[in-house]
Amino acid sequence: MLKAMFSRLGGLIVVLFIVSIVVFLLLYISGGDAALALLGNTATPEQVAAMRSSLGLDRPLMVQYGDWILGVFHGDLGQSFYRRESVVEVIFSRLEPTVSIAIVAQLVALCIAVPLGIASARRVNSTLDGIVTTYTMIGMATPGFVFALLLALVFAFQLQWFPLSGYSPLADGVGTWLRFIALPAISLGVVHSALLTRMTRSSMLDVLSQDFIRTARSKGASSLRIVYGHALKNAAIPIVTLVGVGFAVLVTGALVTETIFNVPGLGKLMVESIERRDIPVIQGVVLLATVTFIFINFVVDVLYLILDPRVRQSA
């Protein structure tokens, strides 16, 4: 079993290579390069050529890519074309807002989804269930940015309960920090909770109807014990999966919410860097995101193993 997992990990490293090549190629194929973005729109061709040379953009593609990969093995992700800082520094300085929002959003999603999912599973086809189902259907169809815009309009602009833009680091005070990330986190969290609620509900439903639950009930175990003792543990598997997937989704959702709320995080960094063809930064962030995603999946796989003996058996 462990052997299978490690071989999979090995395969994933190959995957990372492929991903990095894909990004590299894509952005070079696209029109425009970083030198132009830096020099403004009335620069002379000589200036542009000089800048390209100083950025190393005039070397052959293979050399540029090889250089970068070698650097990665030394923990050096290169230098941002745009900001002339090391990519590692740039990413590090924008990490906190995105992670803060992702964590709080995930908490918000769980706080909504788990109780709602359980409640509607226990009362299948009741009015509550109908309401919850409607909620999930609408929630899953609503793009994150629409909800974010709505929240911005009502709570930041009209009521002015929250600021419309910006970010305050945790070190500067928890209260202010929460104020600034509240709207982005809530918008992401609520939208994600729709899917999570649905998952919770169906997995609870699934488990509640299974034989061993009926057996426990017929043995006289109380509903409470059933829900928490047996059902939740088994329903936890897909929920754990979704929390794992959820992180990926949330980091992706960061792209739009950070743009709307002007949060200086990784999402906004990505959007800006793509616009400016700041390839080292894009590659660095993509690498980070992919590694995180793979790592989380790995953790989920492990948890899967621990929680579900059936999977262990079939592996």
Partner 1 sequence: MKIPGKKRKLLSCIGALAAATLLLVGCAPGSNESGENGESATLTTAVVQIPPMLDTAMTTYTPTGWLMRNVVEGLVTSDINYNVKPMLADSWNVADDGLSITFTLRQDVTFHNGDTMDADDVVASMQRWTELSALGQSAIPGAVWEATDDNTVVVVLQERNSVLLQMLASGGANIAAIYPQEIVEEYGTDPIDDFVGTGPYTLEEYKPDEFVKLKRFADYSNRTEPADGLAGDRTPTYDEIEFLQVSDNQTRFGGALTGQYDITLASPEDYSKIQDAPELEPILNWVGSLYLNYNKKEGAMADVAVRQAVNTAIGSEEIMNAFEPSPDLYEMRPGIMLRSQEEQWNSDADADSYNVNDPELAKQMLTKTDYANEPVTIMAQQNDRSAKAAIVIQQQLEAAGFSIELKVVDATTLLKQREDPQEWDILVYGLNSKLEPSAMAFFSPDFAGWTNDPTITQLLKDYRGAATYDEARAMYPQIIEAYAEYRAMTKVADWTDVIAVKTGLESAPVHDSQIVFWSVPLLD
Partner 2 sequence: MTLKLNPASTPVEPRAQNRQLTFSYRFLRRPAFRVGATLAVLLLVLAVVIPPIVGYDPYSVDPSVRLSPPSFTHLYGTDDFGRDLFSRTNGGFQVSLMIGASVAISSAILGTLLGALAGYYRAVDAIIMRICDGLMAFPGILLAMALVASLGSSLVNVIIALVIVLTPGIARLIRSRVLAIKEELFIEAMRSQGASSLRILLRHILPNTLNVLLVQVAYIFADSIMVEAALSFLGAGVAPPTPSLGNILYDGKQVFLTSPWMVIFPSLMLIVMVMVVNFFGDAVREALDPKASRRRWTQRSKSVWLGRFSNV
Chosen from partner 1, partner 2, none, partner binding at 23 (C-beta under 5 to 8 Å by type): partner 2
Q: Are 216 and 227 in contact (CB under 8 A)?
A: no
Kindly indicate which of the ranges 49-57, 75-83, 219-227, 286-294 contains the residues binding partner 2, using the contact rule CB under 8 A. 286-294
Give the span between the Cα atoms of 229 and 243, in whole angstroms.
Answer: 21
Per-residue b or e along 157-180, where b marks 16 or more CB atoms closer than 10 Å to that residue's CB: eeeeebbeeebbeeeeeeeebeeb
**What is the x/- site pattern for partner 2, positions 181-220, by CB under 8 A?**
----------xx-xx---x--xx-xxx-x-xx--x-----
Q: Phi, psi (5° rounding) for residue 272?
A: -65, -40
Tell me the C-alpha distance between 290 and 136, whole Å. 28
Tell which one of 5, 23, 49, 50 touches partner 1 (CB under 8 A): 50
Per-position DSSP letters for 77-125, written without gaps between them: --B-TTT-SBHHHHHHHHHHHHHHHHHHHHHHHHHHHHHHHHHHHHTTT
262 interacts with partner 1 by CB under 8 A: yes
CB of 23 to partner 2, least distance (A): 6
179 is a contact residue toward partner 1 (CB under 8 A): yes
Choose, by CB under 8 A, the member of 69, 103, 128, 145 that binds partner 2: 145
Instruction: Quote the CA–CA distance of 193 and 200 in Å, as a whole number.
Output: 10
Neighbour tally for 37: CB within 10 Å = 17
> Does 86 interact with partner 1 (rule: CB under 8 A)?
no
Figure out which of the listed residues 48, 176, 290, 305 binds partner 2, where binding follows CB under 8 A: 290
Contact 281, 91 (CB under 8 A): yes
Residues of span 220-279 touching partner 2 by CB under 8 A: 234-235, 237-238, 241-242, 245-246, 248-249, 251-253, 255-256, 259-260, 270-271, 274
Kindly list the residues in this chain that would bind partner 1 in the complex (CB under 8 A): 30-33, 36-47, 50, 54, 82-84, 108, 111-112, 114-116, 118-119, 122, 152, 156-157, 160-166, 175-176, 178-179, 182, 223-224, 227-228, 259-262, 264, 268-269, 272, 275-277
